[in-house]
Amino acid sequence: MKYSSIILIVLWSVAMACTQPKKKADTVVTDVKNDSLWDKIAVYFTPPKAYENQYGDFRSPLTFYDGRPVKDTADWQARRSEIKQRWHELMGEWPELIRDRELRITDSVRKEGYMQYTVRFRWLPEEENQGYLLVPPGADRKPAVITVFYEPETAIGEGKPHRDFARQLAKRGFVTLSIGTAQASKDGVYSLYYPSMADAQVQPLSMLGYAAANAWHALAGHPAVDSTRIGIMGHSFGGKWAMFASALFDRFACGVWSDPGIVFDETKGAAVNYWEPWYLGYYPPPWEHTWRETGMIEDAKGLYPELVQEGYDLHELHALMAPRPFLVSGGSSDPVERWTALNHTIAVNKLLGYDNRVAMTNRPDHSPNARSNEQAYLFFEYFLKRD
């Protein structure tokens, strides 16, 4: 970032800090030193009685692929490396991460309670992306959250209701970076294809995780950000993106995944459609199906059928989060019975000596609402704002 931009941000932050009205301590909902914050979210970390110690038909992450059990933390580190390596082998290896640590500001506008910058940065080896950086006032380094979706405008409040995650978190004192696949979504292909759409060497959903990792590096270098406290959040398509990014890239401190479909489930139809070519079903042309076709494709190609046939499922990626915390903001795609998958990561955390690192909330509908968002924001406040 150019020095002039940094000076502009610091001067504006100081001015805003001086003009913001003071609140009484007992009215600040983000006071994470108050035990009442944990009281508000504690219930989401325990499965209902009906699902306690229920593990479904999922293959345990605490068993090596050759059948050996994981007995201790040293074994888990080896098993964790095995899972990560296997999934990268299956999905395609990432290119070298981009560590430029620069968000190039192209525009700015003052909002109520924060400054909004239009920024550009490299997220693929040969491609820049445009997003929005929201910076609250104050000269201290702050926790931050990257939000991901089809395009970056929704998260800053220019889309459907209850999806303005970046804007709401900025109002709560987080630096936020909203990014999305705007052009690909406009073209109806949604995702990222490397090195080209006709010859992608990495499954597109994994490539989205790679792009988010590069966004982390760009955001971590910003003077207003505490790089040890950066989370990620997304809904639906963005929920899948946030899940893969936080699982595959260790530097994300935590994640919120809003109704992505946290395991393979073809009974959910188009909502949990990992077989699509823009997720885990990519195959090179000629393409025999339209990109907009919904529902399970009987002769699905690409990696997805192989994963299902060989018994892989996404709970293995969840386990890579341990002991980092994550919240599943479940809707119609991720109902309460998903605890049978989440219990596997709870078991990993217990082996490592951690409790209360896996949470799920539930609502009947796919769309987020005011209550589910409040639950997510409190989760971030507890885990990213604590001393």
- The per-residue pLDDT for range 8-46, each reduced to its tens digit, is 343 334 333 333 333 333 222 333 345 799 999 999 999
Question: Which CATH topology does 3-384 take?
Answer: Rossmann fold (3.40.50)
Per DSSP, 242 falls in state H
Give the global pTM.
0.90
* Domain range list for the chain: 3-384
- Reference 274, options 289, 259, 260; nearest CA is 260
CB 247 within 8 A of CB 318: yes
- Reference 93, options 184, 209, 196, 180; nearest CA is 209
- pLDDT, tens digit only, all 387 positions of the chain: 433 443 334 333 433 333 333 333 322 233 334 579 999 999 999 999 999 999 999 999 999 999 999 999 999 999 999 999 999 999 999 999 999 778 999 999 999 999 999 999 999 999 999 999 999 999 999 999 999 999 999 999 999 999 999 999 999 999 999 999 999 999 989 999 999 999 999 999 999 999 999 999 999 999 999 999 999 999 999 999 999 999 999 999 999 999 999 999 988 878 899 999 999 999 888 776 665 554 556 667 899 999 999 999 999 999 999 999 999 999 999 999 999 999 999 999 999 999 999 999 999 999 999 999 999 999 999 999 976
- In the three-class reduction of DSSP (H, G, I as helix; E, B as strand; rest coil), residue 154 is classed as helix
Question: How many CA atoms within 13 Å lie on the side-chain side of 203?
Answer: 23
Determine the Cα–Cα distance for residues 272 and 387; give it in Å rounded to an integer.
37
Residues in the chain, how many? Answer: 387
Which amino acid is residue 278, in one-letter code? W
Determine the Cα–Cα distance for residues 119 and 344; give it in Å rounded to an integer.
39
Which amino acid is residue 322, in one-letter code? A
